[in-house]
């Protein structure tokens, strides 16, 4: 058994914060003696009552000597200290073609952990450090418990309609407006489809964000003048975990065609709820839906355009990412609408099998190999 010090954003209300909490669940199962301390990239706290006591209890754990330090952060935040025998960095990168101003920090680690082969292929031939793929785990027991608890609940969902849905911040890299444009065109031919968008912003209040969303959508509607089409339903603001589960449970097909994703956790959650998925080829998200677990739109490589940079050395125009091709997104969404009962059954069988690759136990075993 090793003494491990974990430094990460498990108290943060962000995608990386969620990854941190899930990784910790797997690290706890390794049986090592783990101490944790919080770090922050944004000063937005995840409600403490929703963080498990099993995780929070590790904050008071202390060892005189630590064998391993795990730093869960951005590359430029990594640092080396000879008090530790082993240095592990868990990093999140969203684009490609990084140069030395980012990669130099990875070479001070003994191991670098990334969430997908896509990210590994971006860096592994450019650094000396051993790169390991350890995907973000999902708590299947919690989701199964929610499903069981709500199986008899009444739902507002119309069974005669097909519901697309999007979960993501209202920022350029999420490509939400492109998905809306495809939906509007499809709704002219398929009268039974709907679109729900769950969005938020770390930069704007909910009231201000609603104004921005309505303005951006009005520009899309103007492109469709003369056509009869449906407008999406917009949900704005932070969402509890159970509310997020409700969205997954009461919709049919997640659209996540984001250009910048280090992993794509909403895709994994959608798969756990047996929903269909439309995402991008050549991305981390495509790895999650591999083996007939979802649909992938064609992409083209383009320079990054990011209006929500947390740190200025990432997602710059010196790097590239995958931009979805609009016609291909449209085609994949149409395929989802026309999925037959037999195709749906085969997809859900493939999804159930693939989910085991992301269970807490499976990821715990991967961490045990370090």
pLDDT in tens, 122-138: 998 899 999 999 999 99
Q: Give pLDDT, residue 201.
A: 80
363 falls within a domain: no
* Confidence grade of residue 226 (pLDDT, cut at 50, 70, 90): low
User: DSSP character for 225?
Assistant: T
Q: Averaged over 220-231, what is the pLDDT?
A: 79
Q: Give a yes or no: residue 369 inside a domain.
A: no
Looking at the chain, how many residues does it have? Answer: 370
Other C-beta atoms closer than 10 Å to the C-beta of 231 total: 14
Q: Distance between CA 296 and CA 311 in Å, rounded? A: 29
Which residue among 134, 151, 183 closes a domain? 134
Mean pLDDT confidence for 247-265: 96
- The pLDDT value given to residue 156: 63
Same domain, 26 and 50: yes
Contact 275, 252 (CB under 8 A): yes
SS3 161: coil
Residues 228, 347: one domain?
yes
Q: State the number of CA atoms in the 13 A half-sphere of 160 facing the CB.
A: 2
Q: Is residue 247 part of a domain?
A: yes
> Is 190 in the same domain as 246?
yes
Question: Do residues 322 and 245 touch, judged by C-beta distance below 8 A?
Answer: no
Spatial CB neighbours of 52, under 8 Å, sequence gap ≥ 6: 21, 25
> Burial letters for 255-264: b for 16+ Cβ neighbours within 10 Å, e otherwise?
bbbbbbbbbb
Q: Residue 78 is part of a domain; what is its CATH number?
A: 3.40.50.11930
CB 55 within 8 A of CB 84: no
Question: What CA–CA distance (Å, rounded) separates 200 from 240?
Answer: 13
Kindly state whether residue 364 falls inside one of the protein's structural domains. Answer: no
Q: For residues 256 and 286, state if they share a domain.
A: yes
Q: Do 27 and 75 lie in a common domain?
A: yes
User: Of 305, 264, 256, 315, which is closest to residue 280 (Cα–Cα)?
Assistant: 256
Coil, strand, or helix at residue 38?
strand
Up-side HSE of residue 220: CA atoms within 13 Å toward CB? 21
Q: How far apart are the first and last CA of the chain?
A: 13
State the CB neighbour count (10 A cutoff) for residue 221: 15
Residue 355: pLDDT band by 50, 70, 90 thresholds? very high
Confidence at residue 230, expressed as pLDDT on a 0 to 100 scale: 87
- Which residues are within 8 A (CB) of 370 and not within 5 positions of it... i.e. 6 or more apart? 68, 86, 88, 111, 113, 132
> Looking at the structure, do residues 129 and 157 belong to the same domain, yes or no?
no
Residue 291 lies in a domain: yes
Indicate if 243 and 199 belong to the same structural domain. Answer: yes
Q: Give pLDDT tens digits for 169-203.
A: 999 999 999 999 999 999 999 999 999 999 988 76
Please give the pLDDT value at position 368.
95
The band of 287, judged by pLDDT with boundaries at 50, 70 and 90, is very high
Residue ending a domain, among 134, 157, 185, is 134
Whether 370 maps to a domain, the answer reads no
Residue 25, both tokens: 């669940």
Q: Per DSSP, what are the bridge partners of residue 276?
A: 253
User: pLDDT (tens digit, 9 = 90+) per residue, 186-195?
Assistant: 999 999 999 9
DSSP H or E run through 132: strand 130-133
- Asked, for residue 287, whether it belongs to a domain, the answer is yes
Q: Is residue 98 part of a domain?
A: yes
Query: Is residue 259 within 8 Å of 221, Cβ to Cβ?
Result: no
How many structural domains compose the chain?
Answer: 2
Residues 337 and 290 in one domain: yes
Q: 134, 154, 184: which is the final residue of a domain?
A: 134
Q: Are residues 117 and 156 in the same domain?
A: no
For residue 40, the enclosing domain spans: 3-134
In 169-214, beta strands by DSSP E: 193-199
Q: What is the pTM of this model?
A: 0.95
Whether residues 76 and 165 share a domain: the answer is no
List CB contacts of 216: < 8 A, sequence separation 6 or more: 170, 177
Query: Which residue has better confidence, 342 or 226?
Result: 342
Give residue-wise pLDDT tens across range 204-223: 667 788 888 999 999 888 87
Assess whether 159 and 78 both reside in one domain: no
* Contact of 42 with 27, CB cutoff 8 Å: no
pLDDT in tens, 14-67: 999 999 999 999 999 999 999 999 999 998 899 999 999 999 999 999 999 999
CATH number of domain containing 222: 3.40.50.2000
Same domain, 32 and 13: yes
């Amino acid at each position: 058994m090793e003494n491990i010090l974990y430094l990460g954003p498990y108290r943060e209300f962000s995608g990386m914060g969620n990854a941190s909490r899930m990784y910790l669940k797997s690290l706890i199962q390794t049986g090592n003696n783990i101490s944790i301390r919080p770090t922050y990239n944004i000063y937005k706290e995840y409600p403490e009552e929703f963080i498990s006591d099993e995780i929070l209890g590790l904050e008071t754990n202390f060892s005189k000597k630590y064998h391993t330090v795990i730093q869960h952060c951005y590359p430029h935040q990594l640092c080396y200290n000879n008090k530790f025998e082993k240095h592990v960095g868990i990093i999140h990168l969203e684009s490609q073609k990084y140069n030395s101003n980012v990669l130099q920090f990875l070479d001070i680690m003994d191991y670098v952990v990334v969430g997908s082969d896509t990210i590994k292929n971006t860096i592994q031939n450019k650094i000396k450090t051993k790169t390991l793929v350890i995907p973000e785990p999902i708590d299947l027991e919690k989701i199964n418990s929610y499903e069981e608890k709500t199986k008899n609940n009444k739902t507002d969902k119309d069974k005669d309609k097909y519901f697309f849905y999007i979960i993501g911040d209202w920022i350029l890299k999420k490509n939400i407006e492109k998905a809306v444009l495809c939906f509007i065109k499809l709704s002219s031919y398929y009268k039974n489809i709907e679109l729900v968008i769950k969005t938020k912003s770390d930069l704007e209040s909910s009231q201000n964000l609603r104004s921005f969303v309505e303005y951006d959508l009005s520009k899309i509607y103007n492109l469709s003048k003369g056509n009869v089409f449906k407008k999406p339903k917009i949900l704005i603001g932070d969402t509890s975990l159970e509310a997020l589960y409700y969205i997954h449970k009461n919709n049919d097909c997640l659209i996540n065609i984001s250009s910048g994703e280090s992993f794509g956790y909403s895709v994994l959650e959608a798969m756990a709820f047996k929903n269909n998925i439309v995402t991008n080829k050549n991305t981390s998200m495509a790895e999650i839906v591999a083996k007939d677990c979802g649909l992938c739109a064609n992409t083209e490589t383009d320079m990054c355009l990011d209006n929500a940079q947390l740190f200025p050395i990432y997602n710059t125009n010196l790097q590239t990412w995958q931009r979805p091709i609009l016609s291909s997104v449209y085609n994949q969404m149409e395929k989802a609408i026309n999925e037959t009962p037999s195709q749906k059954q085969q997809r859900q069988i493939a999804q159930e099998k693939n989910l085991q690759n992301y269970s807490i136990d499976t990821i715990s075993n991967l961490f045990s190999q370090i």
